[in-house]
Amino acid sequence: MHYLVSLTIIFGLCSIKSPVASTVRLHHPTDDTTNNGVVFDVNILQTTDIHGWITGHRHQPTYNCDIGDVYSFTTHMRELANNRNSSFMMFDSGDLIEGTGISDATEMHGLYIFKTLTHLNYDGLAVGNHDVGHKDVTKYIHETFAPHWGSNYITSNVLWAENGKPLGGSQYQVQTTLPGMRVLKLGFLYKFLEHTSNVVVVPPVKSVKEEYFRKAMAEAVDLIVVIMHIAPDMEDMNYIHTAIRRAQPDVAIAFLAGHSHVMRFHAVDQNAFVIQSDHYLYHLGVAKFLLVDGKITHLYHKQIRCNRTALASYVGEPTNEFQLPGGYALKKDLARWTEELSLDTVVGQMQHTYSKSLQVYNKWSLRNLFVEHVIPKTLFAETPLKHKPFYISGAFFLRDNLYQGNVTEADIYAVIPFTDKFHQYEEVQGTVLIALVRKLLSKASQNWGGPAWFVTQEWIEPDTTYTVVGTVYDFFKLDAQVKTIPGWTEVSSNITTIYGPRSALHTYIQRSSVRSAVGA
């Protein structure tokens, strides 16, 4: 008897993308009890989950802006707001690094990302899970990046382990903006367990019970901005919202969400909303509203595509006059670093595009390519393994599509930005492996609706013994899963191999290109 490990059920989507532009009515001016009340004109711009995508998307021409264009756009936006005596605030919700070569080909991940973003005039930043995954990165954030921002780098629940103080410049900040509006800013990371040892992540449910939070809630403010690397449907957001409302039942709140890489926008309660602005600098999120006697009115939202023409049009500038000197300077930096890191070097060619969004059983799925071709023809073919190999991977290990045509070093980093190694469960009986795979494939991911894992697409024979292989990062999670599988006795261990995940893909593309050229 045998079992085919292939999931053919399409899970229902767990998240809904917001429209490009929409208006949500929380209040209307006629609802206000005071006709001559205080009115603030508020403009918020959000970036989130940039993941190093500061050079644009060369395979997607409609998303052709880079960080130089974003610099020019936000500078124009701030100037327009100042001219109207309006409040303009720009925020980032974390995960600045890990996703591109310009981020991760440097010895310390994100060096050039951090240097570049200091040129943007953010009013508040929070930290993401990828930002606290490496000791050298968190040390750089604590000693160099965060001090640049002062109290605007807000880590309410992420602390420096050595002294228990915030990783960033503060746990909260109160700022008076241009028209005299008092704004309280908080910055949260979800309950993240896989962080590096030199930081402490306090679960939000505990963090909101601490003294700093009580002090923050005692502030008399007009608006609370919660910058958070937390998706709107995660329970951590509910903990924060409930805690704020317990202390401040009526104050206006803007939740700036992140982490799940989608666009969202909706009301949270009668005087609060949440916005989440995509990922990889595909879009910039804008929320505009009037604050009338403390109530949010005329709330408008737009996700602006990161396209030079679209950005110039939004701020009323001709495309040929849109770019500012500071933007040009950043573009020169990007070109210099790209050359320095050899990111434009062509590795090989692909005959087709392989999508990260397709299920593993689709032949044009990047997951299928990786698990059915890349791994078998590199790692499995050239590494002595004790038993028949079987591969397991987290669904989001592969981060971008692999596009048809020339494949550069930058393209390979975009697909696999992580520096990781392979682990194994050396001796797993087929019946036990079947139980594990069934468990893994039964759970849909919050982010894309498909299963949270993908595996080798072949029959598992109950009487066969397997060596199960995956990355160190995935095995950190698998080690917790296998404890619940009856009969599981294996402990994970290292594999001695010349390959890591990225080098395996690199080698496969090189060899495939040579074979294609010979065949031609």
pLDDT exceeds cutoff 50 at 30:
no
The pLDDT, as a whole number, for residue 37 is 75
Please, which pLDDT band fits residue 513 given cuts at 50, 70 and 90? Answer: confident
Q: Which residues pair with 350 in a beta bridge?
A: 405
Expressed as residue numbers, the domain containing 419 is 346-519
| Separation CA 380–CA 391 (nearest Å) | 10
Residues found in the chain = 520
**122 and 245 belong to one structural domain:** yes
Mean pLDDT value of segment 510-518: 71
* Residue pair 36/307 in contact by the 8 Å Cβ criterion: no
Both structure tokens of 24: 């949500």
More confident residue, 24 or 133: 133
pLDDT at 38: 86
Closest to 91 in 3D by CA, of 217, 188, 8, 15 = 188
Residues 336, 353, single domain; the answer is: no
For residues 329 and 404, membership in a common domain is answered with no
- Encode pLDDT of 176-188 as tens digits: 998 899 999 999 9
The answer as to whether 19 is a domain residue is: no
Percent of the residues in the chain that have a pLDDT greater than 90, as a whole number: 87
Query: Structurally, how many domains does the chain consist of?
Result: 2
Q: How many helices (H) and strands (E) does the chain have?
A: 18, 24
pLDDT band at 29 (very low <50, low <70, confident <90, very high): very low
502 inside domain: yes
Of the candidates 316, 340, 364, which is a domain's last residue? 340
Q: Is residue 46 a contact partner of residue 278, using CB atoms and an 8 Å limit?
A: no
Which single residue is written with the structure tokens 């995960």? 95
For all residues of the chain together, what is the average pLDDT?
92
% of the chain surpassing 70 pLDDT: 91
Q: Are residues 162 and 307 in the same domain?
A: yes
Where is the domain boundary, 305, 325, 340? 340
The 3-state DSSP class for residue 408 equals strand
Q: What are the structure tokens assigned to 311, written together?
A: 């950005």
| 353 and 328 housed in the same domain | no
Average pLDDT over residues 481-494: 93
pLDDT at 20: 43
Confidence of residue 31 (pLDDT cuts 50, 70, 90): very low
* Separation between Cα atoms, residue 138 and residue 331, nearest integer Å: 26
Question: Do 288 and 412 fall into the same domain?
Answer: no
How many Cβ atoms from other residues are within 10 Å of residue 517's Cβ?
10
Residues 87 and 195 both lie in one domain: yes
Q: Per-residue DSSP letters for 391-405?
A: EEEETTSS-S-B-SE
- The average pLDDT across 90-99 equals 98
Token duo for residue 294: 């403390």
Lowest mean pLDDT among 3-12, 374-383, 488-497: 3-12
Packing angle of the helix pair 325-340, 67-83 (nearest 10 deg): 160
Report the distance separating Cα 103 and Cα 96, nearest Å: 9
Residue ending a domain, choose from 340, 363, 394? 340
Tokens of 270: 């009668």
Based on the domain organization, do 324 and 355 belong to the same domain? Answer: no
**Averaged pLDDT, 466-480:** 94
Give the global pTM: 0.91
**Residue 444's pLDDT is what?**
74
More confident residue, 127 or 27: 127
* Model confidence at 264: pLDDT above 50: yes
| CA dist., res. 274 & res. 505, Å (int) | 38
Give the per-residue pLDDT at 26. 56
Q: What is the mean pLDDT of residues 200-215?
A: 99
CA distances from 167 to 139, 140, 424 (A): 9, 10, 35
The mean per-residue pLDDT over the stretch 62-85 comes to 97
Angle formed at CA 265 by CA 72 and CA 394, multiple of 5 degrees: 90
Amino acid occupying residue 274:
V
> 182-189 and 388-394 as β-strands: parallel, antiparallel, unpaired?
unpaired
Whether residue 217 is contained in a domain is answered as yes
Q: What is the pLDDT of residue 124?
A: 98
Q: Is 467 part of any domain?
A: yes
Query: DSSP 3-state helix, strand, coil percentages of the chain (rounded to 5)?
Result: 35, 25, 40
pLDDT at 28: 42
* Neighbouring residues of 320: CB distance < 8 A, sequence distance ≥ 6: none
Q: Give, in order, the Cα–Cα distances in Å from 286 to each of 295, 308, 513.
A: 19, 16, 43
Do 436 and 468 belong together in one domain?
yes
The residues, ordered by sequence, that sit 6+ positions from 104 with a Cβ below 8 Å of its Cβ are 52, 97, 98, 110, 413, 417, 418, 419
pLDDT band at 443 (very low <50, low <70, confident <90, very high): confident
115-141: per-residue pLDDT in tens? 999 999 999 999 999 999 999 999 999
> CA-CA distance, 287 to 254, in Å (whole number)?
9
Average pLDDT over residues 331-335: 98
468 to each of 295, 427, 430, how far by Cα in Å?
56, 8, 10
With cut-offs at 50, 70 and 90, classify the pLDDT of residue 111: very high
Give 132's contacts (C-beta < 8 A, 6+ positions apart). Answer: 138, 141, 158, 167, 189, 192, 195, 196, 199, 201
Backbone angles phi, psi at 132, to 5 degrees: -120, 35
Same domain, 288 and 367: no
Q: Is residue 23 situated within a structural domain?
A: no
In this predicted structure, what is the pLDDT of residue 12?
Answer: 27
CB 33 within 8 A of CB 293: yes
Summarize the confidence of residues 76-81 as an average pLDDT.
Answer: 96
| Residues 504 and 512 sit within 8 Å (Cβ to Cβ) | no
In-domain check, residue 22: no
Q: Are residues 305 and 370 located together in one domain of the fold?
A: no
Q: Residue 160: give its domain's CATH number.
A: 3.60.21.10
> For 16-20, 54-58, 361-365, 468-472, which range has the lowest pLDDT when averaged over its residues?
16-20
Q: Specify the pLDDT at position 33.
A: 37
CATH at residue 485: 3.90.780.10
- Are residue 144 and residue 260 in the same domain, yes or no? yes
- Tell me if 281 sits within 8 A of 54, measured CB to CB: yes
In angstroms, the CA 393 to CA 486 distance is: 21
- Predicted confidence (pLDDT) at residue 463 exceeds the cutoff of 90: yes
SS3 letters for 233-269?
CCHHHHHHHHHHHHHCCCCEEEEEECCCCCEEEEEEE
Residue 21 domain-assigned (yes or no): no
Dihedral sign of CA atoms 290, 296, 302, 308 in order: positive
Please report the pLDDT score of residue 446 as a whole number: 60
**Per-residue H/E/C for 50-98:** CCCCCCCCCCCHHHCCCHHHHHHHHHHHHHHHHHCCCEEEEEECCCCCC
What is the sign, positive or negative, of the torsion defined by CA atoms of 186, 187, 193, 196?
Answer: negative
Two structure tokens written together for 242: 């409930």
> Stretch 2-14: mean pLDDT, rounded?
31
Asked if residue 436 is part of any domain, the answer here is yes
Does pLDDT of 216 surpass 90? Answer: yes
Q: What is the pLDDT of residue 517?
A: 52
